[in-house]
Amino acid sequence: MADRALNVVCICGSLRKGSYNRMVMNALPGLAPAGMSLMEAPPFSEFPLYNADVQETSGFPPAVQKLADAVRAADGVIFNSPEYNFSIPGGLKNAIDWVSRVPNQPFAGKPVALQSAANGALGGGRMQYDLRRAMIFLDALTLNKPEIFIGNCSTRIDAKTGEITDQQTVGFIRQQLAAFAKFIVQHGPRS
Protein backbone atom coordinates (compact mmCIF):
# COMPACT_ATOMS: atom_id res chain seq x y z
CA MET A 1 0.00 0.00 0.00
CA ALA A 2 1.12 3.59 -0.56
CA ASP A 3 2.45 5.57 2.40
CA ARG A 4 -0.55 7.91 2.19
CA ALA A 5 -4.27 7.45 1.46
CA LEU A 6 -5.17 6.66 -2.14
CA ASN A 7 -7.73 9.19 -3.29
CA VAL A 8 -10.28 7.73 -5.64
CA VAL A 9 -13.10 9.66 -7.26
CA CYS A 10 -16.30 7.92 -8.32
CA ILE A 11 -18.34 9.02 -11.32
CA CYS A 12 -21.95 7.85 -11.28
CA GLY A 13 -23.43 7.41 -14.75
CA SER A 14 -27.03 7.68 -13.59
CA LEU A 15 -28.66 11.00 -12.78
CA ARG A 16 -31.80 9.69 -11.11
CA LYS A 17 -32.31 10.06 -7.37
CA GLY A 18 -33.14 6.40 -6.77
CA SER A 19 -30.23 5.08 -8.82
CA TYR A 20 -28.99 1.59 -7.94
CA ASN A 21 -25.57 2.56 -9.27
CA ARG A 22 -25.46 5.49 -6.89
CA MET A 23 -26.37 3.10 -4.05
CA VAL A 24 -23.42 0.91 -5.01
CA MET A 25 -21.18 3.97 -5.21
CA ASN A 26 -22.33 5.08 -1.75
CA ALA A 27 -21.52 1.64 -0.32
CA LEU A 28 -17.91 1.67 -1.54
CA PRO A 29 -16.26 3.49 1.41
CA GLY A 30 -17.49 0.70 3.70
CA LEU A 31 -16.01 -1.97 1.42
CA ALA A 32 -12.69 -0.35 0.55
CA PRO A 33 -9.37 -1.58 1.93
CA ALA A 34 -7.58 0.46 4.58
CA GLY A 35 -5.79 3.38 2.99
CA MET A 36 -8.27 3.97 0.17
CA SER A 37 -10.47 7.02 0.41
CA LEU A 38 -13.41 7.47 -1.98
CA MET A 39 -15.41 10.52 -2.86
CA GLU A 40 -17.95 11.40 -5.50
CA ALA A 41 -16.66 13.40 -8.47
CA PRO A 42 -18.16 16.84 -9.21
CA PRO A 43 -21.42 16.45 -11.16
CA PHE A 44 -21.81 16.47 -14.93
CA SER A 45 -25.59 16.93 -14.91
CA GLU A 46 -25.39 20.57 -16.06
CA PHE A 47 -22.88 20.02 -18.88
CA PRO A 48 -24.17 21.31 -22.23
CA LEU A 49 -24.13 18.85 -25.10
CA TYR A 50 -20.60 18.69 -26.42
CA ASN A 51 -20.11 21.14 -29.27
CA ALA A 52 -16.64 22.12 -30.48
CA ASP A 53 -18.00 25.56 -31.43
CA VAL A 54 -18.91 26.23 -27.78
CA GLN A 55 -15.46 25.08 -26.70
CA GLU A 56 -13.79 27.35 -29.25
CA THR A 57 -15.91 30.44 -28.61
CA SER A 58 -16.50 30.31 -24.83
CA GLY A 59 -13.90 27.82 -23.61
CA PHE A 60 -14.65 24.95 -21.29
CA PRO A 61 -17.68 25.39 -19.03
CA PRO A 62 -16.56 25.70 -15.36
CA ALA A 63 -18.34 22.44 -14.47
CA VAL A 64 -16.30 20.61 -17.11
CA GLN A 65 -13.07 22.09 -15.79
CA LYS A 66 -14.08 21.07 -12.26
CA LEU A 67 -14.63 17.44 -13.22
CA ALA A 68 -11.42 17.40 -15.28
CA ASP A 69 -9.45 18.82 -12.34
CA ALA A 70 -10.94 16.22 -9.95
CA VAL A 71 -10.01 13.37 -12.31
CA ARG A 72 -6.50 14.77 -12.78
CA ALA A 73 -5.95 15.15 -9.03
CA ALA A 74 -7.22 11.65 -8.16
CA ASP A 75 -5.08 8.56 -7.78
CA GLY A 76 -7.81 6.57 -9.48
CA VAL A 77 -11.32 6.78 -10.90
CA ILE A 78 -14.22 4.36 -10.48
CA PHE A 79 -17.19 4.51 -12.84
CA ASN A 80 -20.50 3.33 -11.39
CA SER A 81 -22.83 3.25 -14.32
CA PRO A 82 -25.96 1.64 -15.70
CA GLU A 83 -26.23 0.38 -19.25
CA TYR A 84 -28.57 2.26 -21.56
CA ASN A 85 -29.58 0.49 -24.75
CA PHE A 86 -26.59 -1.83 -24.55
CA SER A 87 -24.13 1.06 -24.20
CA ILE A 88 -22.87 4.06 -22.18
CA PRO A 89 -25.63 6.40 -20.92
CA GLY A 90 -25.65 9.53 -23.07
CA GLY A 91 -25.04 11.95 -20.19
CA LEU A 92 -21.95 10.06 -19.07
CA LYS A 93 -20.61 9.76 -22.61
CA ASN A 94 -21.15 13.50 -23.09
CA ALA A 95 -19.22 14.17 -19.86
CA ILE A 96 -16.32 11.97 -21.00
CA ASP A 97 -16.33 13.71 -24.40
CA TRP A 98 -16.05 17.15 -22.75
CA VAL A 99 -13.35 16.11 -20.28
CA SER A 100 -11.39 14.39 -23.05
CA ARG A 101 -10.92 17.72 -24.86
CA VAL A 102 -9.40 19.54 -21.85
CA PRO A 103 -5.68 20.17 -22.43
CA ASN A 104 -3.43 17.64 -20.71
CA GLN A 105 -6.41 15.29 -20.85
CA PRO A 106 -6.85 13.91 -17.38
CA PHE A 107 -7.64 10.25 -18.10
CA ALA A 108 -4.20 9.68 -19.67
CA GLY A 109 -2.28 7.28 -17.44
CA LYS A 110 -5.11 7.25 -14.88
CA PRO A 111 -5.99 4.00 -13.12
CA VAL A 112 -9.69 3.33 -13.75
CA ALA A 113 -12.08 0.63 -12.47
CA LEU A 114 -15.55 -0.14 -13.80
CA GLN A 115 -18.67 -1.22 -11.93
CA SER A 116 -22.18 -1.50 -13.27
CA ALA A 117 -25.60 -2.39 -11.93
CA ALA A 118 -28.47 -2.99 -14.32
CA ASN A 119 -31.79 -4.68 -14.29
CA GLY A 120 -30.80 -6.92 -17.17
CA ALA A 121 -29.18 -10.28 -16.42
CA LEU A 122 -25.79 -9.19 -17.83
CA GLY A 123 -25.51 -6.36 -15.31
CA GLY A 124 -24.29 -3.72 -17.74
CA GLY A 125 -21.51 -5.78 -19.33
CA ARG A 126 -22.09 -4.35 -22.77
CA MET A 127 -21.84 -0.81 -21.42
CA GLN A 128 -18.57 -1.71 -19.70
CA TYR A 129 -16.95 -2.91 -22.90
CA ASP A 130 -17.87 0.35 -24.63
CA LEU A 131 -16.59 2.36 -21.66
CA ARG A 132 -13.40 0.29 -21.61
CA ARG A 133 -12.95 1.11 -25.33
CA ALA A 134 -13.38 4.85 -24.70
CA MET A 135 -10.80 4.59 -21.90
CA ILE A 136 -8.38 2.88 -24.31
CA PHE A 137 -8.61 5.86 -26.66
CA LEU A 138 -7.91 8.16 -23.70
CA ASP A 139 -4.87 6.13 -22.59
CA ALA A 140 -6.41 5.36 -19.20
CA LEU A 141 -5.15 2.28 -17.37
CA THR A 142 -8.29 0.23 -16.86
CA LEU A 143 -8.24 -2.60 -14.33
CA ASN A 144 -8.98 -5.90 -16.07
CA LYS A 145 -10.19 -8.10 -13.22
CA PRO A 146 -12.16 -8.69 -11.04
CA GLU A 147 -15.10 -7.35 -13.03
CA ILE A 148 -18.24 -6.12 -11.29
CA PHE A 149 -21.48 -6.69 -13.19
CA ILE A 150 -24.50 -6.53 -10.87
CA GLY A 151 -27.26 -8.16 -12.89
CA ASN A 152 -30.94 -8.14 -11.89
CA CYS A 153 -29.85 -5.38 -9.54
CA SER A 154 -33.26 -4.79 -7.97
CA THR A 155 -32.99 -8.27 -6.42
CA ARG A 156 -29.51 -7.63 -4.97
CA ILE A 157 -29.85 -4.08 -3.70
CA ASP A 158 -32.57 -2.88 -1.34
CA ALA A 159 -34.09 0.13 -3.08
CA LYS A 160 -35.44 1.48 0.22
CA THR A 161 -32.25 1.36 2.29
CA GLY A 162 -29.62 1.40 -0.47
CA GLU A 163 -27.99 -1.66 1.09
CA ILE A 164 -26.39 -4.30 -1.13
CA THR A 165 -28.17 -7.36 0.22
CA ASP A 166 -26.45 -9.97 -1.93
CA GLN A 167 -23.34 -11.01 -0.03
CA GLN A 168 -21.64 -12.51 -3.07
CA THR A 169 -21.85 -9.09 -4.74
CA VAL A 170 -20.45 -7.46 -1.60
CA GLY A 171 -17.55 -9.93 -1.69
CA PHE A 172 -16.81 -9.26 -5.36
CA ILE A 173 -16.77 -5.51 -4.75
CA ARG A 174 -14.38 -5.89 -1.81
CA GLN A 175 -12.10 -7.99 -4.01
CA GLN A 176 -12.18 -5.48 -6.84
CA LEU A 177 -11.40 -2.54 -4.54
CA ALA A 178 -8.47 -4.43 -3.00
CA ALA A 179 -7.18 -5.28 -6.49
CA PHE A 180 -7.67 -1.67 -7.57
CA ALA A 181 -5.62 -0.37 -4.61
CA LYS A 182 -2.75 -2.68 -5.61
CA PHE A 183 -3.14 -1.67 -9.27
CA ILE A 184 -2.91 2.03 -8.36
CA VAL A 185 0.21 1.44 -6.28
CA GLN A 186 1.79 -0.62 -9.09
CA HIS A 187 1.12 2.09 -11.63
CA GLY A 188 2.21 4.86 -9.32
CA PRO A 189 -0.23 6.97 -7.31
CA ARG A 190 0.02 10.70 -7.91
CA SER A 191 2.91 12.15 -5.88
Ligand X SMILES: Cc1cc2nc3c(=O)[nH]c(=O)nc-3n(C[C@H](O)[C@H](O)[C@H](O)COP(=O)(O)O)c2cc1C
Number of chain residues interacting with ligand X (CB under 6 A): 14
Q: Closest distance between ligand X and the C-beta of residue 53, in Å?
A: 27
Q: What are phi and psi of 37, to 5 degrees?
A: -115, 135
Q: Does 91 bind ligand X (CB under 6 A)?
A: no
Q: Closest distance between ligand X and the C-beta of residue 105, in Å?
A: 26
Rounded to 10°, the helix 167-187/20-31 angle is: 70
Q: Which is nearer to ligand X, 132 or 190 (CB)?
A: 132
Strands 76-80 and 36-40: unpaired
- Cα angle, residue 173 at apex, residues 172 and 176 outer, rounded to 5°: 85
Minimal CA–CA distance to 42: which of 7, 9, 75, 74? 9
**Contact pick of 14, 128, 169, 176 for ligand X (by CB under 6 A):** 14
**Contact pick of 84, 105, 178, 187 for ligand X (by CB under 6 A):** 84
Tell me the window of 39-47, 92-100, 115-123, 138-146 that interacts with ligand X (CB under 6 A).
115-123
Radius of gyration of the chain (CA): 16
User: At 115, which helix (H) or strand (E)?
Assistant: strand 111-117
Whether the Cβ atoms of residue 150 and residue 125 lie closer than 8 Å to each other: no
Q: Does 19 bind ligand X (CB under 6 A)?
A: yes
**Contact pick of 60, 83, 131, 177 for ligand X (by CB under 6 A):** 83
Binding positions for ligand X, 118-137, rule CB under 6 A: 118-120
- Interface positions with ligand X (CB under 6 A): 14, 16, 19-21, 82-86, 117-120
